[in-house]
Amino acid sequence: MSITHRPNSEALYEEALLHIAGGVNSPSRSFKAVGGGAPVFMERACGAYFWDVDGNRYIDYLAAYGPIITGHAHPHITGAIVRAAQNGTLYGTPTELEIKLAKMLKDAIPSLDKVRFVNSGTEAVMTTIRVARAYTKRSKIIKFAGCYHGHSDLVLVAAGSGPSTLGIPDSAGIPTTIAQEVITVPFNDLDGLKAALEHWGDDVAAVMVEPIVGNFGMVMPEPGFLEGLCKLARDAGALVIYDEVISAFRFHYGSAQTFKAFQDHKAIEPDLTALGKIIGGGLPIGAYGGRKEIMEQIAPLGPAYQAGTMAGNPASISAGIACLEVLQTPGVYERMNRLAIMLAEGLQQAADQHGIDITINRIRGSFSAHFCNHPVTNYEEAQDTDGERFARFFQLMLSEGICLAPSKYEAWFLTTEHSEEDIKQTIEAAERAFAQMATR
C-alpha cells in the first residue's frame, strides 16, 4: 500500500489556514518539522486505527500523544461517556464520581494524600508550581532541559516536545522577569543540579522533573538520579515536583514513582505530582496532588488560588474511571510490553539491515526511535539526531499507512488494541522505508 495523495486533507488544510492560526489547534500537529504541507485530517478512529478524510486507513502509534492507551472509541469508555452526557455534562457542584477517581489515583500513587482535578496537564503543572511557591514562600523553579511541562509561562524555557520540534524551546511572549525565575539543568546531571542549588538554593521553591522523560524521546533516569535529585532538593529546602502527565499509567498500573524498575520508592517519592492524559480516558483532564499539608495551601483551605468551571466535569471523570478500569485488566501492560519489544526489535533489525543508524529507547509499551549512532540520555543527545532522516522516515511510514508523531522528539505508544498483525505490518513498512532511505 502506498498513500501518495490526500486531496481532501490538502483542501481542508487550505481552508483551516484561513480560519485557524497555523491551521492547527496545537503546533505539534503541524507537519512543519517533517517537510511541511498538509497534516492528515482524520475522520474517524477505532481501536488501533485511524481513517482519514480521503478514506485511507492508518495504524496509529500517536495515541493522541499518550492518552489513548486503550485504543480509540473503547466501548467501556465510550459507554461511560454516553451515560455521563445523558446525566448532564456539567453541574458546577461536586459529584461522587470525583471521589471515586481521586481514590483510584491515590490507591495507585501513594504519595497523593489529596488531589485536585483540573482540565489539562498544563494547568496541573502550573498549579503545582503555585502551590510549591505558596508553601515554601520561595520563587525559583529548577527544571531539566528538554522536559516539557505544558505551555504556562514558567516552563516554556528549554522546553522539549513541540517547542523543540519547532525550534522555539524558549517561547516569545514570556517576560524576562519570569524566565529569570527558572533555572535549567541537564537531565541525568546531579552535579549540575547540585551547582544550581548551591547558587540559588535559598530561593528555590521546587525542583521539577519528568521522572521518566517522554518529551525528548523516552529517556530513563540513570540509576540514583531520582534519589539524588530528591535528596539535593530537600537538603536545600525545596520541594520535588514530578510531572507524570505522560508517565502515569503508561508503563504499569501506577506511575513512574511506583515503577518497579526503581528500587527504593520511598527515596524517590515527590512532594507534588502533576497528572493528565491517560487519567481522562481521552477527554480533557489534568490533576495534581501530593502531601496533605502542601495541598492545604489551596483555596478554600489556604491562600493559593486555583479554580475551574470545567474542573472535575462528569464526562472527563467518568472516562477516566472507565479507562483505569480497563487498565486494571490482568495482563494488559504485559501485552503492550511484549508487542513493543517485538516492534522495537523489528525496527532495529530492519534499520541494521539497511545500514541505518538508529537508537531505540524503549520503556515498556512505548519507545522513541532516534536517527543517530549514540545513546540518547539527555536533551543535548536528543537534539544531536538526524531530523531530516526522521522527516523522511515519517513521510515514508505515513505513505505506508503508519501514523507517527511528526517530530523526532515524540514517542511511539502501543495501546491495548494493537495486534501482532499490526506490528508485523509496521515492521514490513519500516523495512521498505529503510530500504528507500538507504538508496539516497
- Per CB under 6 A, residues contacting ligand PMP are 65, 120-122, 125, 148-150, 161, 210, 214-215, 243, 245-246, 276, 286
Task: Report the nearest approach of ligand PMP to the CB of residue 424 (Å).
Answer: 29
Considering beta carbons, is residue 244 or 271 the nearer one to ligand PMP?
244
Options 60, 277, 408, 409, the catalytic residue: 277
φ and ψ at 185, to 5 degrees?
Answer: -130, 150
Task: Report the nearest approach of ligand PMP to the CB of residue 150 (Å).
Answer: 3
Bridge partners, 241 (sequence order):
208, 272
Spatial separation of the C-alpha atoms in residues 186 and 144, rounded to whole Å: 5
Considering beta carbons, is residue 71 or 146 the nearer one to ligand PMP?
146
Options 58, 65, 135, 148, the catalytic residue: 148
Task: Report the nearest approach of ligand PMP to the CB of residue 419 (Å).
Answer: 27
Say how many CA atoms lie within 13 Å of 7 toward its Cβ. Answer: 0
The answer to whether 202 is a known catalytic residue is no
Q: Report the 10 Å Cβ neighbour count for 100.
A: 15
Considering beta carbons, is residue 60 or 210 the nearer one to ligand PMP?
210
Task: Report the nearest approach of ligand PMP to the CB of residue 86 (Å).
Answer: 26
The answer to whether 277 is a known catalytic residue is yes
Spatial separation of the C-alpha atoms in residues 83 and 203, rounded to whole Å: 48
Q: Report the 10 Å Cβ neighbour count for 237.
A: 13
Task: Report the nearest approach of ligand PMP to the CB of residue 123 (Å).
Answer: 7
Considering beta carbons, is residue 70 or 120 the nearer one to ligand PMP?
120
Options 52, 60, 243, 422, the catalytic residue: 243
110: which 3 cell numbers? 501513594
Residue facing ligand PMP at closest CB distance: 121
Considering beta carbons, is residue 118 or 356 the nearer one to ligand PMP?
118
Tell me which residues are annotated as active site: 148, 243, 277
